[in-house]
Amino acid sequence: MKKLILSVLVVSFLPACHFLSEREHENVMKIPFNMYNLNKKDKALEKSDQELREKTSKLEKEQKALVRSHKRVEKTLKEQGKKLKKIEATVNELNDSMKKQVEQQQVKIQQLSEHAVKLTLQDTLMFNKRSVQIKREGRHLLNDFARAVKNAGTPVHIRIVGHTDDLPISKFQRNEFLDNWELSADRAAAVARYLIWAGKLDKSMLHIEGRADTQPLVPNTSEENRAKNRRVELFVEQHGFESAATPVAANPCSPSVNARMEQEPEVTPVM
């Protein structure tokens, strides 16, 4: 009886044992495939991690570059701010020292931009008619101008531009000036020469132009208008911001203006 019962139990468990073995076999067969998928996912994660690291490194470099650029911009703005204050101080100093002449409209001071100032001097203040000899009052003004430029404390370039009216040079003065081109250039040269000798400005800062009657302020229809057109303009421009001006020298048939630059002019002591 006992043997019969044991035989029945063994027969009953055989299908179960067979089922478990098939499942285990199936799982064992899936192990290589699962390992392959896991390895593939691991490599993909490694690649993604490497790309993320590279992007992070690139962003860090860009951030450092932006910080350096920001510092440079801040430094430039700070330096420009100082220069602007110097230009404004120069304009204020010129207005203070030439207040009388400005009120009499013999002198006009204009701040053309953040980097440029224009000073216009009427010829009645600077020269006698058809002359290049600077008057005493004009010499005093040029002393003040040179002082203001030196007090500015920033490198500048000075363009000196001579202008005339439309009346031609008389035949009695042809031995001095061939035409208005030469007169305007000689007047600009006289101002430059004075600023070098009396104002003690470096000649490398200066540039002269003669415009004759080609750029009138007002039509040459009356003596009053012609007087306004006879003038010398001084453009004070910070280095790096000079206007693209083409110099116009004296008439090519006349003696060189620059050849007379070494002649020392009459000087009024700086008070």
Q: In what order do the strands lie in the sheet with 206-210?
A: 107-113, 116-122, 231-238, 156-163, 206-210
pLDDT of residue 40: 76
pLDDT of residue 8: 47
Q: Where are the domains of the chain?
A: 82-260
| CATH number listed for the domain at residues 82-260 | 3.30.1330.60
Tens digits of residue pLDDT in 184-232: 999 999 999 999 999 999 999 999 999 999 999 999 999 999 999 999 9
- Sign for the CA dihedral angle at 13, 14, 19, 25 comes to positive
Examine the pLDDT at 18 and tell me if it is beyond 60.
Answer: no
- Lowest average pLDDT, out of 80-94, 169-183, 230-244, goes to 80-94
pLDDT of residue 264: 56
pLDDT of residue 132: 93
Q: How far apart are the first and last CA of the chain?
A: 145
Pairing, β 107-113 against β 116-122: antiparallel
Number of H helices, E strands in the chain: 6, 5
What percent of the chain is modeled with pLDDT above 90? 37
Cα 106 from Cα 61, distance rounded (Å): 59
Tens digits of residue pLDDT in 139-152: 999 999 999 888 87
Cα 79 from Cα 26, distance rounded (Å): 79
Q: In this structure, what DSSP letter does residue 270 have?
A: P
Q: What is the mean pLDDT of residues 254-271?
A: 51
Mean pLDDT of the chain: 79
Examine the pLDDT at 248 and tell me if it is beyond 50.
Answer: no
- Lowest average pLDDT, out of 38-47, 155-164, 247-256, goes to 247-256
Residue recorded with tokens 């000036």: 177
Q: In this structure, what DSSP letter does residue 5 have?
A: H
Whether the CB-CB separation of 267 and 198 falls below 8 Å is answered with yes
pLDDT of residue 256: 43
Cα 196 from Cα 204, distance rounded (Å): 10
Whether the CB-CB separation of 248 and 180 falls below 8 Å is answered with no
Cα 193 from Cα 197, distance rounded (Å): 6
pLDDT of residue 60: 84
Cα 170 from Cα 161, distance rounded (Å): 22
For residue 97, name the pLDDT band (cuts at 50, 70, 90): confident
